[in-house]
């Protein structure tokens, strides 16, 4: 296939992606207020850096459709009402993403998500004694009979996650309408589209996975039912947005089989997801499908390059090639076939080019690489234009991963979430550094990368970050209430 990273490509809805580089796949920023909120100056600062460099598409981190089901507490949340005042911060974010220099205009895509049972106990936006909603009352860490269990893993999962409450049909309909409202928010505030997050063990993935869905009704994990929830959501979204509004889906490449030998599980799992993707394509309303993998019990999506888990990422690449072939053999008209977005471990020009040329993907998703190297499209462009011998740079990674992240998986090896958490913290701190530097001086280069910063230190730094203005208002408010109370009492 004769295809280049900088070739434009058309989506089924008719919109064009100017090149194949997608940041900047969704990455949770941890920048909103505690217990969730709208985008703010930090988000604008961060996204303005990516906007400068000509990415084809820019996805936001997950925007939660339910304020009671956050991930790490500082999520962007779809507001309760969509009046002009509520839309403003989202309009500003869309403007920032669109506002590239030199005429480069990235498509702005809002990722919509509901964490379901993976919404943690103290920071998920609920009181600590209110359980999250999920398809079935199966706690994270409890529904995986094949997993290595130990006391520490059980303790960590028990402390962080509650046994969820099984959703009623009314809850299901409510969640569906929340996704539709999220899409209206995206549309009305000027985003070009949404990506519905149905991967990484979040609510919609929970419906598809027999380890988290033991229902017997029409939303069960049986093959004929397990993508009903996703289908009803995207169909309802398509009805309220124009045909040119982009709708994408993020989905896992496996994890749809409850038990069996590893080979059986992976073969059945692969067949099952291929069937899903075929079905999704036949709906004729989806513009792109991002293939990823893993969940909080097994965070494959956070594998480091060179680690054992990165073999899983190579598997995503192989699998996405199978998907591409399968889709193009299907009876769905060519113009309605969703583009395939491959994410995970793409770290060098030759990785990117091979994925395109070998037909592994139509679009190339870069997460951590885009944090290490926000100007990647510019660098690749100038390498292509200026260098006569690609062999000198094509295989070189565009940025080295920090040791903190490579080492993080050694922490509590049976609770991979902890290692992944320390790894993510390093990137979250880096995103914050970029944001702060852009707020101080919008034209400046981001500060140098701090490779000496450890994962544990990044983790503390990630949490020890307050909105001092708001904290002061709270402290003053509480002190006043105490003083008034004291005098009234006497």
Contact 41, 89 (CB under 8 A): no
Q: Of the ranges 22-30, 160-168, 391-399, 471-479, which one interacts with ligand FMN (CB under 6 A)?
A: 22-30
Under the binding rule (CB under 6 A), the answer on residue 26 touching ligand FMN is yes
Going from the C-alpha of 487 to that of each of 29, 481, 484, 490, the distances in angstroms are 44, 10, 5, 5
92 lies in the binding site for ligand FMN (CB under 6 A): no
Per CB under 6 A, the list member of 32, 38, 62, 189 interacting with ligand FMN is 62
Shortest CB 361 distance to ligand FMN, Å: 12
Which part of the chain contacts ligand FMN (CB under 6 A), choosing from 100-108, 131-139, 214-222, 366-374? 366-374
Identify the three-state secondary structure at position 291. strand
Q: Does 61 bind ligand FMN (CB under 6 A)?
A: yes
DSSP 72-126: SS--EE--S---HHHHHHHHHHHHHHH--STT--PEEEEEEE--GGGS-TTTSSS
Give the DSSP letter string of 242-286: -TTSEEEEEEESS----SS-HHHHHHHHHHHHHHHHHHHHHHS--
Of 142 and 248, CB closest to ligand FMN:
248
Task: Determine, following the binding rule CB under 6 A, whether residue 366 of this chain makes contact with ligand FMN.
Answer: yes
- Select from 12-20, 35-43, 147-155, 344-352 the region that touches ligand FMN (CB under 6 A): 344-352
Closest of 12, 20, 15, 2 to residue 376, by C-alpha: 20
- Interface residue with ligand FMN among 133, 428, 429, 458 (CB under 6 A) is 428
Asked if 50 interacts with ligand FMN (CB under 6 A), we say no
204 Cβ contact list (under 8 Å, min separation 6):
114, 196, 197, 198, 229, 230, 233
Nearer to ligand FMN, 11 or 346 (CB): 346
Give SS3 for 393: coil
Q: Which residue is at the shortest CB distance from ligand FMN?
A: 367
> Which of 39, 73, 182, 344 touches ligand FMN by CB under 6 A?
344
Binding flag, residue 343, ligand FMN (CB under 6 A): yes
Q: How far apart are CA 480 and CA 462, in angstroms?
A: 30
Interaction of residue 27 with ligand FMN, rule CB under 6 A: yes
Within positions 211 to 270, which residues make up the interface with ligand FMN, using CB under 6 A?
250
- Does position 427 interact with ligand FMN (CB under 6 A)? The reply is yes
Binding site for ligand FMN (CB under 6 A): 25-28, 61-62, 111, 197, 200, 250, 292, 301, 343-346, 366-369, 424, 427-428
């Amino acid at each position: 296939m004769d295809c280049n990273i900088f070739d434009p490509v058309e989506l089924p809805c008719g919109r064009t992606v100017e090149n194949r580089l997608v940041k900047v796949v969704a990455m949770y920023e941890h920048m909103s207020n505690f217990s969730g909120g709208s985008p703010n100056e930090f988000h604008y600062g961060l996204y303005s850096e990516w906007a400068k460099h000509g990415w084809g598409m820019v996805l936001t981190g997950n925007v939660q459709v339910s304020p009671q089901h956050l991930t790490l507490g500082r999520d962007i949340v779809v507001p309760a009402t969509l009046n002009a005042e509520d839309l403003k911060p989202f309009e500003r974010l869309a403007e920032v993403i669109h506002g590239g220099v030199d005429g480069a205009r990235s498509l702005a895509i809002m990722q919509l998500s509901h964490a379901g049972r993976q919404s943690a106990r103290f920071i998920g936006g609920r009181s600590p004694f209110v359980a999250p909603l999920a398809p079935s009352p199966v706690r994270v860490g409890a529904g995986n009979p094949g997993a290595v269990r130990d006391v520490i893993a059980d303790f960590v999962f028990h402390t962080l996650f509650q046994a969820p409450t099984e959703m009623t049909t009314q809850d299901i309909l409510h969640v569906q309408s929340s996704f539709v409202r999220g899409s209206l928010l995206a549309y009305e505030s000027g985003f070009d589209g949404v990506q519905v997050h149905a991967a990484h063990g979040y609510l919609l993935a929970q419906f598809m996975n027999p380890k988290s869905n033991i229902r017997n009704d029409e939303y069960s994990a049986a093959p004929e039912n397990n993508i009903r929830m996703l289908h009803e959501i995207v169909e309802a979204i398509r009805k309220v947005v124009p045909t040119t509004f982009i709708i994408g889906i993020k989905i896992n490449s496996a994890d749809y089989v409850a038990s069996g030998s590893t080979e059986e599980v992976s073969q059945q799992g692969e067949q099952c997801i291929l069937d899903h993707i075929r079905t999704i394509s036949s709906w004729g309303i989806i513009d792109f499908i991002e293939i990823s993998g893993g969940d909080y019990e097994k965070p494959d999506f956070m594998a480091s390059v060179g680690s054992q888990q990165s073999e899983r990422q190579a598997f995503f690449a192989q699998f996405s090639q199978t998907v591409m072939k399968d889709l193009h053999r299907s009876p769905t008209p060519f113009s309605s076939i969703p583009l395939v977005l491959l994410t995970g471990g793409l770290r060098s020009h030759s990785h990117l080019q091979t994925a395109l040329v070998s037909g592994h993907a139509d679009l190339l998703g870069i997460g951590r690489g885009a944090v290490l190297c926000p100007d990647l499209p510019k660098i690749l462009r100038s390498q292509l234009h200026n260098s006569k011998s690609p062999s000198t740079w094509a295989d070189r990674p565009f940025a080295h991963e920090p040791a903190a992240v490579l080492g993080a998986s050694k922490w509590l090896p049976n609770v991979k979430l902890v290692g992944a958490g320390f790894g993510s913290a390093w990137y979250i701190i880096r995103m914050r550094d970029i944001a702060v530097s852009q707020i101080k001086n919008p034209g400046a280069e981001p500060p140098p990368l701090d490779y000496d910063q450890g994962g544990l230190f990044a983790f503390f730094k990630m949490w020890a970050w307050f909105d001092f203005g708001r904290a002061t208002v709270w402290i003053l408010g509480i002190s006043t209430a105490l003083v008034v109370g004291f005098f009234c009492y006497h």
